[in-house]
């Protein structure tokens, strides 16, 4: 089957292996797995999780919650702070779905002064060092004010505390990830123990792919919410969350031109396909993706000495330290780009293809 170029190629077998590995880890550690579906944004791929007994999920917006609810997902956490502009969709969803919402501060909580018609689960978001959103676990006064305010609303069911350890994505080693993880577990379990007497069913919901992939210690947690693990990417392999063999998603791009005098080649594949996320190589050079050979709807190990040096809107520049090596690339040749951040690549592209030519559309494409 001919595809317009570039396109995303998805290795279904690797996806299943990644899902199964995380499901088994959650079972071993007696925690619920509530995977984050923002990575794949696909009803079809969400159904693969059900094959492993997963029936609850996390999403990043209420529109995404509606999308997955339309296919029968009825236990959904929206892991983005709720706002006054969400109250109508919250009321519509909570009619038929066990919906969990989060508040990121006391100001955020009291600003949501809209009438709720159906019961919703409520988490207080904690900022455990990522500095994006949430209350510091040390700010016991604000947390107490929020718990008291939530408890006064009969349609709010206080579920507990939720956090995303996003700083692990900047870690340089598995040891650093483990250190951040253990420090955060200590903070969370202390907070849980403090509130458990008043709320015996209190839960700690914890999510990020690096720590959930690397660690085998989840003491004190009730559920984990990784998402990126379904595909993984070059950022995850550079941290140590996975190997290149675990990466299940690749952008298939054509070589347009080759410039041996400067050791570079031009591909069709830029920011509109990959996003502008990058990693730093050992010499601090920016890389926007790893380059792999492409053959018969699959790809091999990354070429040594090649990297995606720069991207603009549609253009990508492959570079090599070996100018002769660049001459092995030819205009019209297809190459594989392993993305730095698969979540944003999927959001940009809106669809993937399996090796048999089957097209899987995402929420973004269908909308």
Predicted TM-score (pTM) above 0.75: yes
Do both 80 and 200 map to the same domain? yes
Q: Residue 365's pLDDT band (boundaries 50, 70, 90)? A: low
- Residue 159's domain comprises 12-231
- Tell me which of 172, 198, 231 is where a domain ends: 231
Q: What are 158's two structure tokens? A: 């206080």
Q: Say if residue 366's pLDDT is above 60.
A: no
Do both 211 and 287 map to the same domain? no
Rg (CA), the chain: 22
Do both 65 and 160 map to the same domain? yes
The percentage of residues in the chain with a pLDDT greater than 90, rounded to a whole number, is 87
pLDDT tens digit string along 24-49?
Answer: 999 999 999 999 999 999 999 999 99
pLDDT tens digit string along 233-273?
Answer: 999 999 999 999 999 999 999 999 999 989 999 999 999 99
Do both 305 and 338 map to the same domain? yes
CATH code for the domain of 197: 3.20.20.10
CATH code for the domain of 288: 2.40.37.20
- Write down the mean pLDDT value for the chain: 94
Spatial contact of 88 and 63, defined as CB atoms under 8 Å apart: no
Q: Residue 296's pLDDT band (boundaries 50, 70, 90)? A: confident
Spatial contact of 299 and 292, defined as CB atoms under 8 Å apart: yes
C-alpha dihedral, 362 to 50 to 235 to 367, nearest 10°: 10
- Is 189 among the domain residues? yes
What's the pLDDT score for residue 135?
Answer: 96
Q: Say if residue 139's pLDDT is above 70.
A: yes
DSSP for 79-115 reads EEE--GGGHHHHHHHTTTSEEEEEE-SHHHHHH--S-
pLDDT tens digit string along 219-235?
Answer: 999 999 999 999 999 99
- Is 262 among the domain residues? yes
């Amino acid at each position: 089957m001919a595809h317009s170029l570039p396109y995303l190629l998805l290795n279904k077998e690797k996806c299943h292996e990644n899902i199964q590995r995380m499901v088994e880890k959650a079972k071993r550690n007696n925690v619920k797995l509530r995977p984050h579906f923002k990575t794949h944004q696909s009803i079809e791929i969400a159904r693969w999780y059900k094959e492993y007994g997963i029936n609850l999920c996390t999403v990043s917006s209420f529109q995404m919650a509606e999308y997955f609810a339309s296919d029968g997902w009825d236990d959904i956490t929206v892991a983005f702070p709720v706002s006054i502009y969400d109250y109508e969709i919250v009321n519509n969803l909570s009619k038929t779905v066990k919906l969990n919402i989060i508040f990121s501060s006391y100001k955020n909580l009291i600003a949501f002064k809209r009438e709720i018609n159906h019961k919703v689960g409520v988490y207080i978001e904690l900022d455990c060092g990522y500095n994006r959103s949430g209350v510091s676990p040390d700010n016991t006064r604000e947390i107490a004010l929020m718990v008291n305010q939530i408890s006064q609303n009969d349609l709010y069911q206080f579920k507990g505390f939720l956090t995303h350890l996003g700083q692990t994505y900047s870690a340089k080693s598995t040891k650093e990830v483990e250190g951040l993880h253990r420090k955060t577990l200590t903070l969370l379990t202390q907070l849980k123990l403090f509130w458990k007497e008043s709320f015996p069913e209190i839960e700690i919901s914890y999510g990020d792919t690096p720590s959930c992939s690397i660690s085998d210690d989840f003491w004190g947690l009730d559920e984990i919410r990784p998402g990126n693990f379904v595909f993984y990417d070059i950022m995850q392999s550079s941290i140590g969350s996975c190997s290149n063999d675990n990466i299940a998603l690749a952008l298939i791009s054509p070589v347009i031109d080759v410039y041996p005098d400067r050791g570079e080649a031009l591909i069709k594949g830029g920011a509109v396909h990959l996003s502008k996320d990058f990693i730093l190589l050992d010499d601090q050079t920016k890389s926007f993706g790893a380059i792999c050979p492409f053959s018969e709807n699959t790809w091999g190990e990354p070429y040594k000495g090649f990297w995606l040096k720069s991207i603009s809107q549609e253009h990508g520049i492959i570079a090599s330290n070996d100018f002769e090596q660049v001459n092995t690339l030819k205009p019209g040749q297809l190459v594989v780009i392993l993305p730095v951040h698969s979540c944003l690549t999927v959001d940009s592209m809106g669809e993937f293809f399996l090796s048999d030519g089957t097209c899987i559309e995402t929420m973004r494409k269908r909308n």
